[in-house]
Structure 1
């Protein structure tokens, strides 16, 4: 069933509450960070970005509150050193019919009002525009998570006509040599620049995705400012989590001190740039803003809107083999989307049930006063301890603000 409006079909109390939360989160960001561009961003970018934003409930995000991601292939034309999928040219691509059925199933889950196609590199699939048209036909705007090296003007126009409204583009440094080393192939940076420009000319909202690790930690501020100058509306600052190929470079992941510096950098730079950036795999950012904030209104709004880690309740991640994970960094299956009903898996999956009740958390995450606005990164907890519910080993808030415990 086609839905002409992405919000149409949602129970009024659900979409009105979501809009209120997103507005509250943006105002909290303004008050707690000193963000100078709230008005400009809202008027120029906000309405375009609402159907696109790759955020989840209360991350301080803009956009739809729940975030389904489909790995439409595990094949890729690059070989990034940190890839959580471990993608290569030898990956697998699910049949079109299976993916079309999954997309239709996702459209029947009331919380889901957009969908993300990722990989691997989704554009290695020649039928990607057809998949986007399936999503468009059931009222789901599409975002593609891409390295952008395969996007030219013609491709961007086809994608936009097919229902792709946003492109989350990976950029780990504005130093071409460093970016190419991380991405595993020389010449990648220049292709990414062309891909970004093509998307913007086609009217596709551009989101910049950065993966922070020891190699590029000192370059993140430069990428944030570059994104502002380039006109990107939104962005995510991921951290390396040692899963997939990232297991091989576990020693390059950011630990407590590096996490602290990165979150301080993000806060300081966010004040001056228009692009809205959010951290991924470092939900302590939201606790940090509340613990250090001087605005009482900002703290109240943030306490209401920030939800931190969204694994299993703010998002789901469908692997190329159909396994449904709570997050790309939590390799625990709640069921198989090609063998079962995605709605049932979403509602009743055991790993989802565990993550939806933060009283299940252990250690300092379980006793922290910021448990409900942060929750710690469940991917890091699992990767470093083997326990999904353990405390996040990279948290700095418990050291800097002992009253949190």
Structure 2
């Protein structure tokens, strides 16, 4: 924890809206999280957490609130069978729901639920929506999986073009007609004709522009699911704020992404190579083009 706090201390005049997001992995595996949260607040910064909810009980909830937790995201990836399948744990669903029930009781907590949409749960989206409403959830964010890690070998984790369009239409219709829960697509990629219809703002990948991260080994990067080759330094050898101010060129000038199918794309000025996490390996082509999935879908 001390190494992380020293990195924060390199930020001499933090902006009032600066938010430290603790994510993972699973952040609640760390027993010093409340102490860390208090130190973040002592430095004049806000903090939040993304969790699977498995270890989030009432004692943890109260401890984190007392440490200044301001925002919380809990993952719910389907109804019981599909959620537990993805999490590979038969108790995961019940634990996540218990965490959700605790979070919605705290009115000062900025809280939402995220769902990782895949082939196992896409047919359950309406059920999940009603379930969340019954548990008084007011904000629901949906995203998909890109083909990295175990998603490369497991086809059930990735949506077909037609399934992706179904997801877009599902979100669009709820945003037009559902007033009880704020549903939106994540910032994972440019979605062409669905821009402004599936979230409140036009697509913009913030990685390395107003999102930076410190990974488990001290590496300095942007969003944690970005290829490790894009790391810009390490807190054990570099000043975090200096790295933020002086490096990150590959994040802030993305013309290098004009390769592969992005090379001559007429929408590059809007998309800028899609989400940064879609560039892995040789980086000669984007892993997923959401606009192409929409345009290639057949019905």
The number of residues matched between the two structures is 290
Cα distance in 2, alignment partners of residues 262 and 243 from structure 1: 21
Cα distance in 2, alignment partners of residues 133 and 284 from structure 1: 37
Aligned counterpart in structure 2 of residue 337 of structure 1, from 216, 235, 245: 235
How far off its partner does 1:207 sit?
Answer: 1.2
Aligned counterpart in structure 2 of residue 261 of structure 1, from 143, 163, 166: 166
Deviates more, 1:211-220 or 1:114-123: 211-220
Greater relative contact order structure (CA < 8 Å, 6+ sep): 1
Aligned to 2:268: 371
Aligned to 1:280: 186
Aligned counterpart in structure 2 of residue 188 of structure 1, from 84, 89, 92: 92
SS of structure 2 residue aligned to 1:158: helix
Aligned counterpart in structure 2 of residue 179 of structure 1, from 77, 83, 88: 83
Residues 170-222 of structure 1 show CA distances to partners (whole Å, capped at 9, x for unaligned) of 1001x212111111111211111111111222443321111122222222343
Cα distance in 2, alignment partners of residues 326 and 348 from structure 1: 14
Q: 1:155 to 1:251 in 2, by over 3 A?
A: closer
SS of structure 1 residue aligned to 2:9: helix
Residues 122-161 of structure 1 show CA distances to partners (whole Å, capped at 9, x for unaligned) of 1121111010001111222211111112122222111111
Aligned counterpart in structure 1 of residue 60 of structure 2, from 145, 148, 155: 155
| Consecutive unaligned residues in structure 2, runs of 5 or more | none
SS of structure 2 residue aligned to 1:315: coil
Cα distance in 2, alignment partners of residues 212 and 347 from structure 1: 36
Q: 1:156 to 1:227 in 2, by over 3 A?
A: same
How far off its partner does 1:242 sit?
Answer: 3.0
Aligned to 1:75: none
How far off its partner does 1:366 sit?
Answer: 5.1
Cα distance in 2, alignment partners of residues 223 and 366 from structure 1: 39
Two-structure CA RMSD over aligned residues (Å)? 3.0
Residues 291-335 of structure 1 show CA distances to partners (whole Å, capped at 9, x for unaligned) of 989xxxx9xxx8xx5243222223223211111223222122111
Cα distance in 2, alignment partners of residues 103 and 119 from structure 1: 18
Residues 28-67 of structure 1 show CA distances to partners (whole Å, capped at 9, x for unaligned) of xxxxxxxxxxxxxxxxxxxxxxxxxxxxxxxxxxxxxxxx
TM-score by length of 2: 0.83
Q: Which structure shows the higher helix fraction?
A: 1
| Consecutive unaligned residues in structure 1, runs of 5 or more | 1-95
Q: Is 2:63 the partner of 1:165?
A: no
